[in-house]
Amino acid sequence: MNWYIQSQHIDIANMTDEQILKNIDNGDGAYHDLYPGHAYPPNDNAEYRFDSEEKARQYANEIREVFAGLPDNFEIYRAIRVERGGEIDFEYPGISWSLHKENALAFGSHNGSNVLLTTTIDKTNIDWAKTIAAFSEFTSMFSGDDEWEIVPLEQSKLRDVRQEPIIRRRT
């Protein structure tokens, strides 16, 4: 995955459609291009991420609205698996976090996670290039199982990481 915005402090509210679209993954090569004529000449037999430039720009605007509307500081969540007697690295707890607790728990249910980490992140500590790329790859904005990923710019700046056990009810 290529990230085109340098990992730096950027205000997503001021990002252009082009800056956002440059960070939207093309599905690991699953798509010929983002939309017909974006980077390559249109091809009638090709599959595109979006049907048109208008739909791509609408999606960029939706991403901008989702993230720009967040408060300056907000909670993020990460479900992890800790082996019995294992320790959690609170200084570098991981790069992929979720905007929503329920989405972190849903993701964690697929990989046997048994601990939920919670921390508060400042919007200036978000790597927007990686967040946009991960968000566009793993979140459709319409499904409860989506990951709603947030990627911290610096893991070591995540303070007061809290942990709680994940209790799974057997059915």
- Closest by CA position to 23, among listed 55, 37, 12: 12
Q: What is the pLDDT of residue 4?
A: 45
Q: What is the DSSP letter of 3?
A: -
Low-confidence ranges of the chain (pLDDT < 50): 1-5, 142-144
Distance CA 72, CA 54 (A): 30
- Closest by CA position to 74, among listed 156, 150, 164, 154: 150
Q: What is the pLDDT of residue 28?
A: 58
Distance CA 133, CA 122 (A): 19
Q: What is the pLDDT of residue 38?
A: 86
Q: Measured in Å, how far apart are the chain's first and last C-alpha atoms? A: 39
Q: What is the pLDDT of residue 58?
A: 95
Distance CA 122, CA 71 (A): 9
Q: What is the pLDDT of residue 85?
A: 81
